[in-house]
Amino acid sequence: MCKSSGTREQRGEVPASVDVDVVERRPPEDKDRVDRESLLHGERSALGAKVLTLCSAKVSLLAAGSMTLNGVLLGVLLVLLTKQPVAVSAPLDATSALDECHGHGIRFADAEGCTCFDCWTGATCYEPLPLDAAECVVQAGSGTPFLFEEYWVAHPEAAIEITPFNHVGYGADVPRLERAIRAVHRLVGNAEVDGRHIVIGVGSTEMINAALFALSQSPPADGAAPPEATIWAERPYYSGYILPSTFFESRSFHWRGNATPPTPTAAAPVIELVTSPNNPDGALRSPRLAEYDHATAIMDHAYLWPHFTATPETPISYGSERVALFTLSKATGHAATRIGWAITPDADLAARLQQFVGLIGGSLPRESALRASVILEHVTASRGEVFGFARERLLSRWERLQALFEQQAAFRLQRLEPLALDAFTGEEAYPPSPAYAWIERLDGGDALASMAGVGIAARSGLGYGASAAYVRLELLMREPDFVTLLAKLQRLLLPA
């Protein structure tokens, strides 16, 4: 993917993905299991053979052994410097969480048994379900970033242990997390944080609501009460925008899902929701209504990270008419930690954002804030190693997906953005690798029904302001689940 040069740091190497050899446990007569495991092991071996690298002066990937030692030393140093009542856990067996479940599932610390991957079953996830079984369904309808799971299994040095007396009282001040967020943005270069306010909330969904509230309450120049605002997004838009805009039936704003953008006026201002890169199709977007005086925008940059798209040459830097949103879930995979944040240069706007977050949640959970801090500190200390890990896997998935779709004419994948200069790695021809496949059924039929017919759970284009001929498939699942997804797509697209 990258070419080395004298002006860049020596390339590091991400440890090969955790693989579990179960040949000795295999009954020789179980051909279905042998075929499925051979396919999976072949896919993962080919991928693991690649050098996972981001070759840039900004990125220096570390070997697994060094990362383990460095992670522990970093944790000790952080304790000494910050005097936080936190201890970093000793490194664990990197394969134990997967090995107990034969590589077809994972066992979590708070679970009684294995959580099996799609189309595997049994107490230890040893039994494969036939691909055409009704119970064999690939979950490609969510955005859960299990893609990152392997990386964090191999990096237990980023763990934390929280003492029982750590911040037992109320309080919303999380300076360590704010420092960690600023450091990651400076490392990547995807957002300007100097001279900006950062407001942290419980996930990006809360921050979308907070931004709608904050922008709709901007006082007019004459000091009158703010007029009701219209919420609008270009199609196809993220399906998660509709509910925050309509659920509370707010008198401050209302949703308008029309294809044609409304005209902003003093009596009818518009808040535009812009996702860039876009969910569902990965397109890079700018506000359509930027030239109007009474238009503001929420810039949802959940996917503006090196594993999805090229980093712009200049970090994004918006004025008080826009709010930039980011989320931990798509940056590192920690969706359940529920951390999202907004960036704005405007102190009054930041105060209104914080007012909403404080009213809805009281304050940010200390445990979530501490976990996010340690994770982001690991990202910065490793020079973005996790981004390289996710990037290689997504590129590989897009290569396999595009090769499959090129062999048929019934469905069409979205056209990806052109190659671009990536400021993070210095790579001049950086291909995009979006989180989702946006697929059109060319005869105009129900694309979701087509997927369901072969055991693929997806999301209809109807939820994104498109027609039923479109469907969204997530590509953020675990590698074994992606291999099963490809097998099912092959049955749909290339029937025997």
Is it the case that residue 302 has pLDDT exceeding 70? Answer: yes
Q: Which of 275 and 93 is assigned the larger pLDDT?
A: 275
Asked if 152 and 177 sit in the same domain, the reply is no
Give the CA angle between residues 231, 433, 205 to the nearest 5°.
30
What is residue 95's predicted lDDT score, i.e. its pLDDT?
Answer: 62
What is residue 224's predicted lDDT score, i.e. its pLDDT?
Answer: 79
- Domain termination site, one of 331, 356, 381: 381
Strand partners, 326: 341
Asked if 376 and 389 sit in the same domain, the reply is no
Asked if 235 and 88 sit in the same domain, the reply is no
Asked whether residue 484 is assigned to any structural domain, the reply reads yes
Average pLDDT over residues 455-480: 97
Is it the case that residue 282 has pLDDT exceeding 80? Answer: yes
Average pLDDT over residues 124-131: 95
**364-398 tens-digit pLDDT:** 899 999 999 999 999 999 999 999 999 999 999 99
Instruction: Provide the token pair at 296.
Output: 């503001």
Asked if 117 and 184 sit in the same domain, the reply is no
Average pLDDT over residues 185-189: 98
- Domain termination site, one of 327, 355, 381: 381
Q: How many helices (H) and strands (E) does the chain have?
A: 13, 19
What is residue 36's predicted lDDT score, i.e. its pLDDT?
Answer: 58
Asked if 85 and 133 sit in the same domain, the reply is yes
Distance CA 108, CA 59 (A): 31
Average pLDDT over residues 168-190: 93
Q: Looking at the 3D structure of the chain, how many domains does it have?
A: 2
Asked if 298 and 435 sit in the same domain, the reply is no
Asked if 258 and 303 sit in the same domain, the reply is yes
CATH code of residue 431 = 3.90.1150.10
Asked whether residue 56 is assigned to any structural domain, the reply reads yes
CATH code of residue 178 = 3.40.640.10
Asked whether residue 3 is assigned to any structural domain, the reply reads no
Give the pLDDT band (50/70/90) at residue 350: very high
Asked whether residue 316 is assigned to any structural domain, the reply reads yes
Average pLDDT over residues 322-327: 97
Cα 427 to chain center, whole Å? 22
Asked if 190 and 221 sit in the same domain, the reply is yes
Give the pLDDT band (50/70/90) at residue 188: very high
Asked if 407 and 470 sit in the same domain, the reply is yes
Give the pLDDT band (50/70/90) at residue 39: low
Asked whether residue 334 is assigned to any structural domain, the reply reads yes
Asked whether residue 143 is assigned to any structural domain, the reply reads yes
Asked whether residue 162 is assigned to any structural domain, the reply reads no
Asked if 344 and 208 sit in the same domain, the reply is yes
**214-239 tens-digit pLDDT:** 999 987 777 778 999 999 999 999 99
- Domain termination site, one of 348, 381, 414: 381
Is 405 in contact with 412 (CB distance < 8 Å)? yes
Is 329 in contact with 142 (CB distance < 8 Å)? no
Alpha helices in 247-365 (DSSP H): 328-332, 347-361
What is residue 14's predicted lDDT score, i.e. its pLDDT?
Answer: 32
Asked whether residue 163 is assigned to any structural domain, the reply reads no
Phi, psi of 286 (to 5 degrees): -125, 160
What is residue 419's predicted lDDT score, i.e. its pLDDT?
Answer: 97
Roughly what angle, to the nearest 10 degrees, separates helices 385-405 and 479-493? 10
What pTM was computed for the model?
Answer: 0.82
Asked if 59 and 198 sit in the same domain, the reply is no
Is it the case that residue 51 has pLDDT exceeding 80? Answer: no
- The identity of residue 51, as a single letter, is V
Give the pLDDT band (50/70/90) at residue 40: low
Asked if 425 and 288 sit in the same domain, the reply is no
Is it the case that residue 295 has pLDDT exceeding 90? Answer: yes
**253-278 tens-digit pLDDT:** 999 988 999 999 999 999 999 999 99
Range of the domain at 370: 172-381
Helix (H) or strand (E) holding 437: strand 436-441
